[in-house]
Amino acid sequence: MNNCPWGRITGVRPVKIIKNMLQSGLDAGQSKEKFLEDYMVSEEKARLCLEIAEREIKLLEDIDENDICLYVGIPFCKSRCLYCSFVTAQSAEDHSLIPHFMKALKAEITAAGRLAGQHNFRIVCVYIGGGTPTVLSAEDLSKVIGYCRDSFDLSKIREFTVEAGRADTIDNEKLSALKEAGVTRISINPQSMRQETLTAIGRQHTPAEVEDAFYQARKTGFGNINMDVIAGLPFETGENFADTLRQVDALNPESITVHTMCIKKGSRLHERLGEYALTDAETAKRMVDFAYGFMKQTKRHPYYLYRLKYAAGSLENIGYSKEGFECLYNILMMQDISTVISVGGGGVTKVVGPDKISRVFNVKEPREYINRIDEMIERKKVIFI
């Protein structure tokens, strides 16, 4: 008997498999049976995937092939989280590159906008991620959004997300700038609401700062806020994780994304594994199961799911949302449904065609991005031919 709840599935998108079965004409019961039989997943994972796949199909009813997403990567952070493998720039010296980065980004957005126009693409979602985009000043955030508005047709936009990520990068001025620029959804990510954990994982904010940032965002008028948490952080017990979920829920965000702890190569955690008490697979599973039940109770349903290599217990990441607040970008991007034009540090541009998916990668490191901006611009043209 295979102990992994995902049985034979090694890929990152299990929902896609069952969704293809539904779309090939099998009904829900047949799809689930086939999924169980072909992939030997656990009954609960099969049920979960079916639930998400059915929801996705409804949510994507009116998306067509010219509807695409725009991703903007801001590769700067305030400090590096213990588990992060992303090459972000954190030092004052790194941050002195921001004016040069802005100039390069403007050139790339302008060129990408021309490309989108030539192919009659309509942007339905914009997602500004990172890094931590709110490391930028209010003025620079407004400028980035302005470059997008000047270069792309945003008349059909349904969602505009900015990862406000770390509470210690958020203030009233930035929130107001985002709101005024038309951002509809932000993410404020505590990961844990336990101070000892935040200190251990290198996040320089307190649980109280997370709450303050959340209330400020509400006061500024944001009616769609996501919060990310991680199940299985070092030194955390099941009760610590449950307590984080309760504290986050008390703020009443529209969606909560539950990640499972991953030990990624290139992270500080990977380099210094012996120093940290890691969560065993059984505890991680209990945490993830608790999250599922808790979200049901608090009226948030699972709407997207993906897996990552090296996750505790081979478990998954799940986005839970209240009805009507599902993040369209997360679904379109994770399920390889729509073309995504990505600009900025670490962006992956993806052209989704009828028979194949082509990808082109932007470099992550800001100095490299700035120095090689012409190449980043040219590279994209090739896959859009």
Answer yes or no: are the C-beta atoms of 209 and 169 closer than 8 Å: no
Q: Is 200 in the site for ligand SF4 (CB under 6 A)?
A: no
Phi/psi of residue 161, nearest 5 degrees: -105, 140
Answer yes or no: are the C-beta atoms of 129 and 163 closer than 8 Å: yes
Which residues 6+ apart lie within 8 Å of 115 measured at CB? 341, 380, 381, 384
Q: Measured from the CB atom, is 81 or 102 closer to ligand SF4?
A: 81
Helix (H) or strand (E) holding 182: none
Question: Which one of 41, 52, 77, 327 is in contact with ligand SF4 (CB under 6 A)?
Answer: 77
Question: Which one of 5, 7, 113, 165 is in contact with ligand SF4 (CB under 6 A)?
Answer: 165
Give the contact letters, 37-66, x = binds to ligand SF4 (CB under 6 A), - = no: ------------------------------
| Interface region with ligand SF4, contact rule CB under 6 A, candidates 64-72, 74-82, 293-301, 364-372 | 74-82
What dihedral do alpha carbons 81, 86, 90, 95 form, nearest 10°?
Answer: -150
Q: Measured from the CB atom, is 69 or 261 closer to ligand SF4?
A: 261
Comparing C-alpha atoms, which of 173, 188, 163 is closest to residue 137? 173
Name the residue type at position 186.
Answer: I
Q: Is 310 in the site for ligand SF4 (CB under 6 A)?
A: no
Separation of alpha carbons 39 and 41, rounded Å: 5
Answer yes or no: are the C-beta atoms of 284 and 257 closer than 8 Å: no
Q: Is 187 in the site for ligand SF4 (CB under 6 A)?
A: no
Q: Measured from the CB atom, is 130 or 234 closer to ligand SF4?
A: 130
Answer yes or no: are the C-beta atoms of 4 and 314 closer than 8 Å: yes
Strands laid side by side in the 316-321 sheet: 301-307, 316-321, 255-260, 225-231, 185-188, 159-165, 122-130, 67-74, 340-344, 348-352, 357-361
Q: Is 261 in the site for ligand SF4 (CB under 6 A)?
A: no
Q: Is 366 in the site for ligand SF4 (CB under 6 A)?
A: no
Give the contact letters, 115-154, x = binds to ligand SF4 (CB under 6 A), - = no: ---------------xxx----------------------
Question: Which one of 72, 81, 258, 318 is in contact with ligand SF4 (CB under 6 A)?
Answer: 81
CB of 326 to ligand SF4, least distance (A): 22
Q: Measured from the CB atom, is 132 or 192 closer to ligand SF4?
A: 132
Contacting positions for ligand SF4 (CB under 6 A): 77, 80-81, 84, 86, 88, 130-132, 165-166
